[in-house]
Amino acid sequence: MRLDIIGYCGAYPGNGQPCSGYLVTQNGTSVLLDCGSGVLTKIYDYIDPERINHVIITHFHADHFSDVFCMQHLSLVAMQLGRRKEPLRVYAPADEEYFEKMKYKQASVAFEINSQSTLDIDSIRISFLKNNHVKSAYAVKVLSGQSSLVYTSDTQWCDGLVDFARGCDVLLCESSLYNEFYNAVQGHMTAGECGLLASKCGAGRLILTHLPHYGEHEVLAGQAREKYDGPVILAENIRYLDI
């Protein structure tokens, strides 16, 4: 299983760098985890977006879902030109106003995700955990064979994440806050909390993402390492990872 980091900025895109977007590929099947601002323009560096059939939206904040509207139009045009036969399949929380907008003409269809949902997409199995966030939001676990990835999406500390992420090969964890800003922004974790989560769940590797637009990001990595003695990687420093 391969993870491509399409975008990692929190809140809004950086200069040439999109918000949240992570592409998981296994045996030719690709699933996009979140599709935030700027993701579509960057994804061409990794894959022809017409080949993406599955998009998971963890929650309806613009930095995690706004480019799905552009993906819908891409799907529509591709279908009109005969280059695509199936609509884009969008999986998202159904208890938010934007859910119905994940359906667009014949170009996209929408499916609810919740803590009881399990998706089987070819050789990939995906499950979800409700987060502690200001919007209805979900962490995502991706399993394929012996490989496992857990993406926290946006959340405050949540004890349930420890069991949900137990033994994962890669923990892709939102690190919106430096330790000194603990509890300063509702619904987000500090780098130290990311390290603590990785330690408690026994993650093989920790990737810090959803990075802030201020400060030195290496400080975030250092704060995570104070709690976790495994590999800590900043999402800005990698393009892809084999899991």
Burial of 236 (0-12, 13-18, 19+ CB in 10 A): middle
Q: What is the pLDDT of residue 97?
A: 87
Cα 227 to Cα 79, 183, 193, 220, 231, distances in angstroms? 49, 18, 8, 12, 12
Would you say the pTM of this structure is higher than 0.95? yes
Q: How far apart are CA 138 and CA 116, in angstroms?
A: 11
Q: What is the pLDDT of residue 96?
A: 81
How many Cβ atoms sit within 10 Å of the Cβ of residue 80?
11
Put residue 52 in one of left, alpha, beta given phi > 0 → left and psi -120 to 50 → alpha: beta
Which residue, among 157, 127, 162, 131, has the nearest Cα to 143 in the 3D structure? 127
Q: What is the pLDDT of residue 145?
A: 94
Residues with pLDDT less than 70, the chain: none
Residue 50: what are its φ and ψ, rounded to 5°?
A: -65, -15
Q: How far apart are CA 88 and CA 86, in angstroms?
A: 7
Q: How far apart are CA 7 and CA 5, in angstroms?
A: 6
Q: How far apart are CA 75 and CA 30, in angstroms?
A: 15
**Tens digits of residue pLDDT in 104-152:** 999 999 999 999 999 999 999 999 999 999 999 999 999 999 999 999 9
Which residue, among 126, 147, 133, has the nearest Cα to 33 in the 3D structure? 126
- The identity of residue 18, as a single letter, is P
> How, if at all, do strands 21-26 and 2-7 pair?
antiparallel
Q: Output helix, strand, coil percentages for the chain, rounded to the nearest 5.
A: 25, 35, 40
Cα 103 to Cα 54, 91, 149, 207, distances in angstroms? 13, 10, 28, 32
Q: How far apart are CA 87 and CA 103, in angstroms?
A: 10
Element (H, E) at 40: helix 39-43
